[in-house]
Structure 1
Amino acid sequence: MSIPCPVTGCGRPTRGATICGACAADLARALASVPWLDRQLDLVLARQTRIGSRGPRPAETPLPYAPHATEAREVLRSTLAAWVDELLPVLPRRDPGPVCADCAHPSCRYRAPGRTLPGMAWWFQARVDHLVRHPEAEELRDEIMAAVWAAQRVVDRPADRRYVGQCGADLDGSDCEADLYARPNAATVTCPACDTRWDVRWRRERLLAAAEDTLATAADLARALTGLGHEVTPEMIRGYAHRGQLVPHGRDARGRPLYRLGDVADAVAAAAARRAERSA
């Protein structure tokens, strides 16, 4: 007699495997989406969608771009990596053959994957027929699906909204931790969790003040400040530095100068004031 699938809400016959064919197909589709999700998370991280956090921060940490995207990627990566480590010793192995990014060589499927998201996803896809018979297939499926769904929610967030911080409204002694996203020209934003209305300009100023000691490259700072309502380009920042209006504070691993966000914001404001005086 076939055992019902143990996946929550399923119950279909497993037909000799640990989980049923439908749940295995869901896992395969989720794994197939990982390379696309990896590229989309890159796009989310490239857009300055969130800046600043609560509490003290080191002055020389990179701008905390889209920590929701950073966290989703890390959860997905660590989940896949943990299961690779768990399964490598027990899955069938053969002598390695040609190394290909994506091919039909039978031996390639037995190689240990690299730790990139696409590499690990492909490794799992090549083993779905083994995975569904593993004693912990239900747990593996649940954890990988949850990590993929979390990344998908980040990618599906409307791109035309900018992060303006956590709500922070007092809810009977505890702070509302809902994330707030406002349209670029919005004057106010309403919390989706507690319906508190906030002034967008005030919230952006608060984020700017919280991150003023952050050091980053001209490109990263331009994205950050543009996300906070200041139209800035990397070329403008480099121009301020060339004219002595900005002083770099060290360099990153690639040798690019790092500037303090607060100094760049001051230079932008000073330039705007000079333009206003000339046009008066």
Structure 2
Amino acid sequence: MTASCPVCGCEQAESLLCHADTTALERELGDVAAIVADLDISLSKQARIGNAGQPGLARERTPINVGAMMAADVLGNTLTTWARDIGEIRLLGYEDSSRFAAAFLLNHVPEIRRHPAVVELVDEITDAIRQARRAVDRPADRIFVGPCMAENPDDEGRLVTCLEDLYARTNAAEVRCKVCATEHPVAERRAWLLEQARDRLFTVREAAQMMGDVGGIKVTEASIRGYIHRGRIAYHTGTVIRLGDLLTVVVNDGERKGAA
């Protein structure tokens, strides 16, 4: 009986991951360190990825790169999950864990080739790396408003979730997915992004940017410091606050004003 590669279906002894697919995976894992460095640049807003024709560093004129933030989370979670599945590994923070997990996987290629879930492993890792690459190359003059997530029937009538990233013009009310053509209200997408970042920690300045540039909710740094001074929001680890705490206070204040 002829055995085959579980990923591409080519003839392969003992049904191991074939040489071509193994080489492709090794190449992707080998790029992780550089991709994480690019994500770090985008997250610290040092990259020149702002509006076309405007001078200055991105940290002076662009919002927090939410696409990079989410892609970093997906990449780190995916790599560390599969690294732990392969064997014992001690991981640190997201930046170190992504790199260490990729290096660990590269050192355990024989185990990967015969892993019973190698199809899922290859698919999830390559997809996470693809998303990370795209996150550091966002279109100019547009803002990231999250993945599409619309469910549409395929040729056989089965519902398939569209994962295409959406980028909207700054003042647009709606954005159309270029893959499935689903239209989304930008305000709803912005609210969704804020919800995804509830448990993240930001400085006061970053939190104000996140609320305004990403969520479209104007909250000044002075207002946030006022919440902290009055004990409505607490600092975490010294100088950062949890975005969800700020969201709760702002929403509650808005509801009280609306009822007045």
Same fold (TM over 0.5): yes
Residue 183 of structure 1 pairs with residue 183 of structure 2: no
CA RMSD of aligned residues (A): 4.8
- TM-score, reference length from structure 2: 0.55
Residue 226 of structure 1 pairs with residue 213 of structure 2: yes
1:1-280 alignment runs, 5 A limit: 3-8=3-8, 10-13=9-12, 18-43=16-41, 45=43, 66=66, 69-70=69-70, 72-88=71-87, 112-115=89-92, 116-128=97-109, 130-131=110-111, 133-136=113-116, 138-139=118-119, 140-158=121-139, 160-163=141-144, 180-184=166-170, 186-192=171-177, 193-194=180-181, 196=183, 203=187, 207=191, 217-224=203-210, 225-227=212-214, 237-238=221-222, 246-248=226-228, 249-256=232-239, 258=241, 260=246
Once the two structures are superposed, what CA deviation does each residue of 1:33-73 show, in whole Å capped at 9, x if it has no partner? 222332344455556xxxxxxxxxxxxxxxx9837843x44
Distance 1:252 1:159, change over 3 A: farther
1:25 CA displacement: 0.6
Instruction: State, as a whole percentage, how many aligned pairs show the same letter.
Output: 28
Distance 1:160 1:204, change over 3 A: farther
* Larger relative contact order (CA 8 Å, sep ≥ 6): 1
In the alignment, structure 2 segments of 5+ residues that lack a partner are 46-63, 153-160, 254-260
Distance 1:28 1:167, change over 3 A: closer
Is contact 1:77-1:117 (8 Å) kept? yes
Distance 1:164 1:119, change over 3 A: closer
Once the two structures are superposed, what CA deviation does each residue of 1:150-179 show, in whole Å capped at 9, x if it has no partner? 43344444254224578899x9xxxx9886
Distance 1:119 1:217, change over 3 A: same
Which residue type is aligned with residue 252 of structure 1?
Y
Which residue type is aligned with residue 108 of structure 2?
R
1:121 CA displacement: 0.6
Q: Distance in 1 between matches of 2:234 and 2:213?
A: 22
In the alignment, structure 1 segments of 5+ residues that lack a partner are 48-63, 90-111, 267-280
1:122 CA displacement: 0.9
Once the two structures are superposed, what CA deviation does each residue of 1:193-215 show, in whole Å capped at 9, x if it has no partner? 446485x6xx389849x88xx89
Q: Could you say which structure has the larger radius of gyration? A: 1
- TM-score, reference length from structure 1: 0.52
Distance 1:188 1:122, change over 3 A: same
